[in-house]
A and B are shown apart, each in its own frame.
Chain A
Amino acid sequence: MRIQNNWTKRALGIMAISALTVGLAACSSASDEQNVPGGGAESTGEVALVQGIRSLSNSYHANWAEGGDLFGASIGQDVVVLSDEGDSQKQLSLVKGLAAKGQVFALNIDPNTSSDTEAIVRAVTEAGGYVVTQWNKPADLNPWDVSDNWVAHISFDGTGSGTEVSQALFDDMGGEGGIIAIQGILDNVPAKQRFAGLQAALEANPGIELLDDQTANWSRTEALAVTQTLLAKHGDKVKGVWAANDEMALGALEALKAAGLAGKIPVIGFDAVPQALEEIQSGENRYVATVSTDPWWQGAAGLSLAYQAASGAIDVSKLTHEQRAFYAQQTVVTTENVTDFLAAPSAEAIQVDIDDPFARIVSAIN
């Protein structure tokens, strides 16, 4: 993948010269005909497939890139991966570099921060490419306000999955007993959504009592200390541990181990980090569940959506607002489906989501 990246850079250098003559004309004409879907695609033949991620060195984005490759394989094309290593400036210059190629491209990108999104989608609009953004965008900026080249924005709401994963914890406890909740940074949006999910689940389960909730700021170290203190405070009444992410759940698990309670008290988390998945698979310490956004889906469906817009299979101007800015479904991972999240899905399994990238819409982002 890195080779492709370098190849891209070299190719960009060569193409820069030709772009001076052809590219400038193509760019201006592409922005003229931006309301005609696939307008540029027919003229250059093929749509370039591009993924914009942070880094291949973290398993989440590596899986995302793998999903994109599965989509690429489904239409017999290679996928270029742009990794910005968490650098917003680099990310933007890589995106602008795509424009210089003079070829229509489909980009599926995870903008570094909300404030980067606007610059990215405007650069893509100018270049006549098609982009799907995920996770971060400013709340008051929507794809239909910018252009049809910003096909859609996909994000995830922790409330629904929060309720579901809490239910998994309660079921494991037999529907009765006290739990302690370890929260993320209290004013973070996912922290709020996930805790709201827990509260919804608590209402549906009168047998469960929330003994205490404390923040550990998403940190494994802090979660260990907080769990120790809460275990001292509530003693035998603690029958389950709820944590707003896997890092903290794993910290809490260490506290349970130190107290000789690992395997006796169930734990849940969010994010599906590799170590949590391994704990779920082994079952030894009663790590009951976590929540995954399914990075393979994010890579495959997001790229497919951008490609379908670029190739003209989807008319962006006819999409609803819900289809252009939506919360996608998350999956609760338990022992039953954990193997699906330890390795990439098969080509057949992911084809459904490639064919219909909207299949996992939960609700519109308002």
Chain B
Amino acid sequence: MSEPLIRVRDLTRDYRLMDKREGVMGGFVDLLRPRWRTLRAVEDVCFDIDPGEMVGYIGANGAGKSTTIKMLTGILTPTGGQVTVGGMVPWKQRRQYTRHIGAVFGQRTQLWWDLAVVESFRLLQKIYEVDDATYTRQMEIFDDLLGVNEFLHQPVRKLSLGQRMRCDLAAALLHRPRILFLDEPTIGLDVVAKENVRLFLKEIRDRDGVTVILTTHDLGDIEQLCDRVIIIDKGRVHYDGELDDLRQRTGHRVRLTVDLREPTTVAALEAAVSGLPVTWDQEEGLRHVAEFRRQDVAGAEVIKRLVNACPVSDLRLAEPDIEEIVREIYRDAKNGATAVSTNDGAAS
């Protein structure tokens, strides 16, 4: 068994927030006696990642994804726990460590805003000490896969979001990092641009064997890129395993969309499939949705009974997508973090 590249143990991070009081008087009181609250954004997170793995790190807004990524990239110091990546502690050996990683934060750019794109690449070449041969080769690859040459001489501020993202990805990979952190790399991109980014990432993984950790809200990214997913909710790991297992575990819920020719009550539909474990939901007007588990009921059985009993005009049977599976996993969790303690007054 080989050693993991990334080793995370009991990783915990607290934030201290001020609870604001209401009103003008409250504002003055806050100045004198602030109320602090500790928010645990990440709690006892453990996982190992092997070299060459491509892992999807997913969760709702505020679940602790970005906080984890920040600690893994060395930007943030944890409150507790350990991280070692290839024998280094990211936040302690930041300059040694960041030489080996690449990072793309979808909402920000690492390119120099006012300068032509090529200036940023030339600077990155110096920062990472990339030799000329490697530089040329990498730039050829980026042009092949992302078509970056097209806008290499334009200032970054004039690029479209899709173009900028392509450049940012190339910039993160110029020095052939061992690990690539992607924080929502497809955010705000249109379908074609998303597809380009995904194809590029697949190609780079196969070519360089780079280890990738990816956070996203777009489960299309996960389905196409990752074999393994880690689901985090309220700062804790809820699931860590193969994507296929996740599908199995949630038991293949199937949605049957039924369009009727004339209004029918839900009761009538229920009666039509009585005795079968099917739940009904009226979507709009003549459209109803039935949900059932494939292992409990055969789709054909439900359809046969419905068609016989009700004025059905159209039927559609859909497999669940990952999004729904994940939604199920963190259905009860609306807010990201749990308050662990409140201490009133004690200003420091």
Question: Do chains A and B interact in one complex?
Answer: no
Q: Which residues of chain B have a CB within 8 Å of any CB of chain A?
A: none
Q: Which residues of chain A have a CB within 8 Å of any CB of chain B?
A: none
